[in-house]
Structure 1
């Protein structure tokens, strides 16, 4: 089962990266009518939330800057951004590096119980599945936005 999960991370992240490779910074900054965010935000959001789910960011992981929570966490939006915002290229590189770290997670960790259930999920493996669902959802948002920009 664990092999399938990590293979799914490769497949999903590979598709995500493929879909954003040709997006310019200008296209990524457009917020189409009817959407709360832009492609730039979605990329940073997936990176940040996956780091939270899989690596315990920001308390247990220092691979991303702490301000990513304020830029890309739940409930944030680009219209409220202040200070240094990483480029789409930087986020893309960080997503590639993150996939490498995810693939290093020991399979035995997937069975570990969470200290406290999260959204009804009780094991780290269930959180990993949620991270995949979350990434695929935002990939769909990006796909729709690409058609409009």
Structure 2
């Protein structure tokens, strides 16, 4: 993937998520619509945590160590033993993470992974996966918000 094209795509995708978050309130973010396993807040934390894993590995040096247990695959807010981070915390962490991702040296994207992940073999391929993953979840959270807001009108 051309680094400049990928960076533009990342700026558009992450910018879209942050702009969307500015339209949210905690009540909407924490409502779990029927037919969904998670909440909007969970999806936002999941995007943040997955991007950290894809681009920086399992150490989670820049995010709270409990994020994988809150936002990892198969986790659910209904099973949390804690309140979880606020929308403001998540937004700040998404912005800070974006800055760290933007300064990853271009040559790093050609590096081979120590072992393939989901059939991906380089850091650049992981970057492409991160972009796809983030965009996919943005679509889900936008749909969830519409469902939650429509339900509020009928109640």
The TM-score normalised by the length of structure 2 is 0.92
Is 1:141 paired with 2:143?
Answer: no
**What pairs up with 1:1-149 in 2 under 5 angstroms?**
1-57=2-58, 59=59, 61-149=60-148
SS at match of 2:144: helix
SS at match of 1:115: strand
Cα distance in 2 for partners of 1:8, 1:108 equals: 18
Q: What is the CA-CA distance between 1:56 and the residue it aligns to?
A: 1.0
Q: Tell me the matched-pair count.
A: 147
Cα distance in 2 for partners of 1:129, 1:45 equals: 17
Gaps of 5+ in 1: none
Cα distance in 1 for partners of 2:11, 2:106 equals: 15
Partner deviation per Cα, 1:78-131 (whole Å, 9 max, x = no partner): 101112511111001100111000001001101101110111111100000000
Determine the structure 1 residue equivalent to 2:153: none
Name segments (4+ residues, structure 1) moved above 6 Å: none
Q: What is the CA-CA distance between 1:21 and the residue it aligns to?
A: 1.0
SS at match of 2:121: strand
SS at match of 1:22: coil
Cα distance in 1 for partners of 2:21, 2:28 equals: 10
Cα distance in 2 for partners of 1:56, 1:75 equals: 19
